[in-house]
Structure 1
Amino acid sequence: MTSIELVIERTIAAPIDRVFARLVDIDRYGEWMPAKGSILRGTRQTSPGAVGLGTTFVDQTRLGETPGDVVEFEAPTTVVFHWWEKSKKGTLKAEGWPGYQLSATGDDRTLVRHRAQLNLYGAYRMAAPIFRRFALRERTTVMDALKASFETDPLRRT
């Protein structure tokens, strides 16, 4: 196994509870996720009820469907998702843990620390440098889209 870890931070002009609510509203990702520059095409929650620990979802990506679940959840400060990709034989090819740690910084601003871990297995390990560049671009695009979604939000507090 080869592991890749990334950390990206952004300060968002919105209260912590609103930022957290946006991050855990799985079915509405399409409203703020970028249409270009991301592999993600949509996400849908597959378990009933409010999002919390154990909630399941499916990401629709350019490469197909990827299942996942919520593995850490502490409102309004922490959410960590887990996704995995398996071969047709059922062996892991890759799995990731994109997570968000939020801190209120006053004046209705929130520091979002995004930590992403990607584990690669089998032949995928040989392409780790390519996956690292791709993951950094993908995660940066997502964080920039999250920040921009509040800059254009008509309910944003000024």
Structure 2
Amino acid sequence: MAKSEQRSVSVERHIAAPAEAIFAVLADASRHCEIDGSGRLVRATSSNTPLTLGSTFSMRVRLGVTYPTKNRVLEFEENRLIAWAHWQGQRWRYELEPSDDDGTLVRETFEWGTARWPRSIELVGAHKKNVPSMEVTLERLAAIVETPPAATPDTDADNAA
């Protein structure tokens, strides 16, 4: 399928954290504003936490004006995959692939081919604007879940003065 016909864009990032820790943040709708790279999410107004297949959650979104949107989880595999869509149908998906170094490859996808009016998304250029926002989202997600390196313990020799 040609790229223009796919109607989806994805970004990936290796995050130095286990898939379980990353998934816990993604499955908690109250934390979506914390990781949102678009700056459009204002707050979660309702959610079933943790999210599971079929769960719904509502968000306040700012796009010129602030408005509510209700989302439903449409794809779910514990610690591996979660995806949701709102009434218009475009889908946000996170896929997690554990790596050998105890980290995780995280892929975020925005899919507008599932939208009721996919051409409207293309006309306003939302699909192109979402790529930089998704990169920031994964950066913020990494900052939350990555554990800083452990400090080396002081030795007696270091403490002697």
| Secondary structure of residue in 1 paired with 2:73 | strand
Q: List per-residue Cα deviations over 1:92-124 (Å, max 9, x = no partner).
A: xx4311111111112321100112102362882
Change (3 A) 1:3 1:59: farther
Q: When the two structures are superposed, what TM-score results if normalisation uses the length of structure 2?
A: 0.74
- Aligned length in residues: 140
Q: List per-residue Cα deviations over 1:96-154 (Å, max 9, x = no partner).
A: 111111111123211001121023628825615x2222222322222222122234xxx
Q: Which has the higher strand share?
A: 1
Q: Give structure 1 stretches of 5+ with no counterpart.
A: 85-93
Native 8 Å contact 1:14 1:157 kept in 2: no
Match of 1:121 among 113, 117, 122: 117
CA distance in 2, matches of 1:52, 1:7: 22
Deviates most, 24-33 or 74-83: 24-33
| Secondary structure of residue in 1 paired with 2:51 | coil
Q: Which residue of 1 aligns with 2:103?
A: 109
Q: Which residue of 1 aligns with 2:19?
A: 16
CA shift, 1:79, in A, is 0.6
CA distance in 2, matches of 1:113, 1:6: 10
CA distance in 1, matches of 2:104, 2:122: 38
User: How large is the Cα RMSD of the aligned pairs?
Assistant: 2.5
Change (3 A) 1:146 1:127: same
Off by >4 Å, runs of 4+ in structure 1: none
CA shift, 1:75, in A, is 0.6
| Secondary structure of residue in 1 paired with 2:126 | helix
Identical amino acids, percent of aligned pairs:
26
